[in-house]
Structure 1
């Protein structure tokens, strides 16, 4: 039916034009944003999944940044630790040379100066190894009050009762395992006083007579040659005394570190005297020195985020300052003690260097795993919400063609009433 009141063909053309415009806008938006699902109205379920996955990807980026800072800290720590290990190796060479008793005084002074110069370099290296305000080779320094206790026995007073077989020093020893020295106590009864200097690293000394332990470090004096308990490790200057009767056996065994390794230790017995039983028993004098405000070490732990649920990977500081390595307390009058102190420092430094190397390897693995996981999730998000650009381009071309045809059809349909009116003229 033909009517001038209702233009059915114009309505159909307008609907086609609106549909073409909608398709065109959708295709243009997807091409412009690169997303097939840009908001919840596009597909609520997939949009929600994509938002959660993108949040996880962003969180992994934060984790990777934190682990990267940990890597940088460990690189600084490893470089400093390796340099300190090298400096200690050079210092040890000087300490070994210092034990050569044939050296002149000037040569010994030069060696000590070289070691002290290396010590200064070690201290600077430990303090300058810093990243982001953190010093992994220098513990947090905390002021405190420290009490140092030392013992001293003075010079041994010679006794006329001491037989030639017992008199004289027991030769100092260093860097050996268990060692036993045997001496003849002589034919006269009396009390034996032995003066022991264990230096800084603890040692154990036990004295045996006829199968009985008659004296030991860390044990009180017992009269009449009675047995005592096993010795305990001591350091510094000590005096061991026991009552000697030749009838119980003239051979006296001085057992140094019998039940453990004494690697790196140094000790000496500068005096062994036989005195009358009634004579006053010598006792080592003990003194205490209180030093306020001393800096002591407290290791720090640095935590780095390693997971999106708040997991953390920690790195502990390993102090390698002179104080932490024990190199600020060297007794330069004892060449054996100098080498001993440096050997202890070398062990600590090697352990620290190995620790930082192991932690660096662990952080490298974590960074690689985090990056791989982030890439996988990013790909998964893309599969869900990204637009297929070639397909959207084709849809855009088709929508533009439909839009053009719909515009032409609408123009023709709108002209239909005028054509009908012309028939009545």
Structure 2
């Protein structure tokens, strides 16, 4: 049946042409933007996934910058540590040369002191963006942002590479040591083995001396002095000090002083004496050395000074005497080992950071490829589809034109 009121063929042709135009518009948008999914309307699920992944890519690029900063910081510390090792080797050579009887030891001592100054300069300058890993200003490890870990439930957590600081300072950077303080014997806050504070107690071979921190006074300094200068050992006379504040306990004082003494003995390689602490008691044992005089003292009016650093034993090297030259040869080995260990630790940390940096870059590339697979337009397919739709559009226009002319044929029935 033909009707002049309803042209079914024209409606079908028009709807077909509309569909072709919609498809053509979609393909043209894909070609112009390069994306088959550019917003949530195109494909909500794919758009949501790709958006989350794109935010991760941006985060990993920021992490890459953090790793580069961390690598540079550790690299500076490693280079400075290696310079310290080299200088310590030079100092060792001077100490060996000073072992002779007919040499001018004073000149060797002058050279050694100059090289110690060089080490202090290396350590002081070994900072990157204000962070120094060698100066002993802190014992806290430095955390370098390494990755973002996304759980299956969408929770994101950060992971870090921890880099330990290495104290290669000669004088140290702390402020809990006190020098020039006068012992306070009127107040019993440090008990030197039952004797009055400030009185030396002699510890024979095989014996142990205990120093008790009876109580803590805010602002008081605490000093333990070890003296075996009358014997042939390398310890000589050494003082170790700590100053308390209102938050310091007697246990804190005992731990701090015993740690200082233990670190010094380790650095100098002196195994004649050992130190330990339990609660507020410090115990010093004479294993195989000459008689050791131990003095515990407290002071209320000391002047804050500087802690001995990790290479603090350098300051006590003196090759101007036979005993000093012999002691220096033992001490330098321990100091070199400490510096070598520090350089090796920084080298390992830098390698780990470099490996993580490479992985992050690979991860960024993989995520970017994955996002592209989800959202990018297949340009070859889109080009072929565009040409097909353009042909369909032309045919659709012609079909609509023919359908629109159908009512004209009805006029011939009335002629």
TM-score range, shorter chain: 0.5 to 0.7
Q: Which of 344, 349, 359 is residue 349 of structure 2 equivalent to? A: 359
CA-CA distance at 1:61 after TM superposition? 2.7
In the TM superposition, what are the counterparts of 1:234-245 in structure 2 within 5 Å? Answer: 235-237=227-229
Deviations 1:253-292 (A, max 9, x none): xxxxxxx99985599xxxxxxxxxxxxxxx9796968752
Please list the CA deviations of residues 232-253 of structure 1 after superposition, one character each: whole Å capped at 9, or x if unmatched: x9544358xxxxxxxxxxxxxx
In structure 2, the CA distance between the partners of 1:95 and 1:205, relative to structure 1 (3 Å rule), is farther
Structure 2, unaligned stretches of length 5 or more? 138-172, 183-202, 211-224, 232-264, 273-291
Answer yes or no: is the 8 Å Cα contact 1:143–1:293 preserved in 2. Answer: yes
Task: Please list, as runs of the form range in 1=range in 2, the aligned pairs for 1:217-366 lying within 5 A after superposition.
Answer: 235-237=227-229, 292-296=303-307, 324-331=311-318, 333=320, 334-366=324-356
Q: Which structure has the greater CA radius of gyration?
A: 1
Higher strand share: 1
Residue matched to 2:66: 66
- TM-superposed CA distance for 1:125, in Å, is 1.1
Q: Quote the offset at 1:395 in angstroms.
A: 1.0
Q: Which has the higher contact order (CA 8 A, sep 6+)?
A: 1
Aligned residue-pair number:
290
Q: Secondary structure at the match of 1:393?
A: helix
Q: Post-superposition shift, 1:405?
A: 2.4
Q: Which structure: greater helix fraction?
A: 2
Name the TM-score, length of structure 1 as normaliser.
0.58
Give the CA deviation at 1:353. 0.8
Q: Could you state the TM-score of these two structures normalised by the residue count of structure 2?
A: 0.59
| Equivalent residue, structure 2, for 1:391 | 381
2-structure distance, mates of 1:56, 1:135: 31
Q: Does 2:126 correspond to 1:129?
A: yes
Distance in 1 (CA, whole Å) between partners of 2:389 and 2:267 is 91
Conservation of the 8 A alpha-carbon contact between 1:266 and 1:340: no
Task: Rate the CA distance shift 1:391–1:284 in 2: closer, same or farther, 3 A.
Answer: closer
Cα displacement (A) at 1:102: 1.1
Q: Distance in 2 between matches of 1:39 and 1:327?
A: 67
* Corresponding residue of 1:306: none
**Alignment equivalent of 1:144, drawn from 164, 176, 185:** 176
Deviation at 1:376, TM superposition (A): 3.0
Shift of 1:143: 2.7
Label 1:400 to 1:261 Cα distance change in 2 as closer, same or farther (>3 A).
Answer: closer
After superposition, the C-alpha distances for 1:99-142 in whole angstroms (9 at most, x for unaligned) are: 22211xxx323212211221121111111122122111212234
